[in-house]
Amino acid sequence: MAGIQRMLIAAAAAALLTNQAAAQSGKISDDVVKIGVLTDMSGQFSHESGEGAVTAVKMAVEDFGGKVLGKPIEVVVADHQNKPDIASALARKWFDVEKVDMIANLINSSIALGVSQLAKEKDRIAIVNGSGSSRLTNDACTPNSIHYAYDTYALAKGTGAALLKAGEKSWYFLTADYAFGHALESDTSAIVKALGGEVVGSVRYPPETFDQSSFLLKAQASKAQVVALAGSGTVLVNAVKSAQEFGIRKAGQELAGLLVWITDIKSMGLDLAQGLVLTNAFYWDRDDETRAWSKRFYERMKRMPHMGDAGDYSSTMHYLKAIAAAGTDDAQAVMRKMRELPVNDFFAKNGKIRDDGRMVHDMYVYEVKKPSESKGEWDYYKLREVIPGDQAFRPLKDSACPLVKKG
């Protein structure tokens, strides 16, 4: 009898060890977890993504240990050149031929929208940090994509509401003529009207247009209290510089950069950028955790990180943690774990991924410091307001996402 008990105990122990080993090794397709960073490496959005995005993702992989469930993690990189057809071809090749499991960054909203749909078709994962169109978690949501760092709804809610509270009621939009610009104008216009303001006009410019003179003249002639720049990249920087030359702010019109990166402020300089109100998900000097991570990023990139970089790192870590928790890199199993697990790191506290793919976290309204207020390089922002996550992003009750269950 004692011998049988010993055999049963030994068998149970062996089974436990086998199960633990299976859980540790997990089920990883092709024996590698492959992450593709699809971004702008050379164009007008490269300072908002590019090498910074690649560096952030690689830092996350290194910090995770380079392996998950005992299998190596590989990072591949491609330049989509801001062309949706090139981006789709690259993503399709990555999914079909190179067996990429997750595509990261995806700056340029037209590209992000296309690749998210492709991820759904191929049952892989797309995590968007570079792009802002709130359509990604609204009518264009998918069960395979996550919008992580920010979106146009949150930018509009932050900057739009802040300026309206300050009495700036009439708005004129200079809008980049592609998915991001359209969404930013639409979301901000809705906030303006909801808070009692009015949109007196708008003009759209091709995103590759670097001379904003004719568009700014129309904005100046509108006499609107706010000239809202619904675009980003080097075009936004050039628009702010041109607005200065035209004396738009001196004449009493407020300039609103609806998406401003800290690298934009660096390019403009505080003399030009001072007083700009902007909304952001991350600032390197927010607290001890952000400063510690940003110092490590700075050592590699020789610049401070912005919310896209921080989001790329945080979301990659969250993705890898979800694989470990799920015991597999199967897309739907990992997506379930990513929605289930909270995000608690230097980027966000108690962050939560909703059914529509939106990662909900606090957003911050900042004002750019005067040169006399800055204590040194990259000391650019002073905090005006914290917007709690449950107020920063589009409420699910207003969502057009078919994945959202409404009671």
Identify the pLDDT of residue 210.
72
Identify the pLDDT of residue 23.
40
Identify the pLDDT of residue 1.
45
Most confident segment among 10-24, 174-188, 381-395? 381-395
Identify the pLDDT of residue 105.
98
Contact criterion met (CB below 8 Å) for 173 and 225: no
**Contacts of 242 by beta carbon, 8 Å cutoff, 6+ apart:** 211, 212, 213, 216
* Of the candidate ranges 15-24, 282-291, 304-313, 388-397, the one whose mean pLDDT is the lowest: 15-24
Q: Cα dist. 43→49, 116, 273, 322, 331 in Å?
A: 10, 21, 23, 33, 31
How confident is the model over 126-132, as a mean pLDDT? Answer: 96
Tell me whether domains 30-150+286-361 and 153-280+363-392 share a fold.
Answer: yes
247/261 Cα distance (integer angstroms) = 23
267/379 Cα distance (integer angstroms) = 14
Identify the pLDDT of residue 189.
97
CATH of 30-150+286-361, one of 3.30.300.30, 3.40.50.720, 1.10.760.10, 3.40.50.2300: 3.40.50.2300
Q: How much of the chain, in percent, has pLDDT values that exceed 90? A: 81
pTM, entire model: 0.90
**Residue in 397, 220, 302 with CA at minimum distance from that of residue 51:** 302
How confident is the model over 173-181, as a mean pLDDT? Answer: 91
**Contacts of 346 by beta carbon, 8 Å cutoff, 6+ apart:** 287, 289, 290, 292, 293, 310, 314
Q: Where are the chain's structural domains?
A: 30-150+286-361, 153-280+363-392
How confident is the model over 237-254, as a mean pLDDT? Answer: 89
Identify the pLDDT of residue 154.
97
State yes or no: pLDDT of 388 exceeds 90. Answer: yes
Identify the pLDDT of residue 396.
97
Query: Which class does domain 153-280+363-392 fall in?
Result: alpha beta
**Contacts of 216 by beta carbon, 8 Å cutoff, 6+ apart:** 174, 227, 239, 242, 243, 246, 248
How confident is the model over 353-358, as a mean pLDDT? Answer: 98
23 or 101: which leads in pLDDT? 101
**Contacts of 82 by beta carbon, 8 Å cutoff, 6+ apart:** 40, 43, 44, 45, 108, 111, 207
**Residue in 224, 249, 265 with CA at minimum distance from that of residue 370:** 265
pLDDT bucket at 407, cuts 50 / 70 / 90: low
Identify the pLDDT of residue 22.
36
State yes or no: pLDDT of 152 exceeds 60. Answer: yes
Residue 101 backbone dihedrals phi, psi, to 5 degrees: -90, -35
**Residue 259: beta bridge partners?**
none
324/336 Cα distance (integer angstroms) = 12
Kindly tell me the sign of the dihedral angle through the C-alpha atoms of 162, 389, 58, 114.
Answer: negative
**Residue 77: beta bridge partners?**
37
* Residue where the block lists tokens 């030009």: 272
For 2-58, how does the pLDDT look when each residue is reduced to its tens digit (9 = 90+)? Answer: 444 454 444 444 443 333 333 444 699 999 999 999 999 998 888 889 999 999 999
237 or 209: which leads in pLDDT? 237
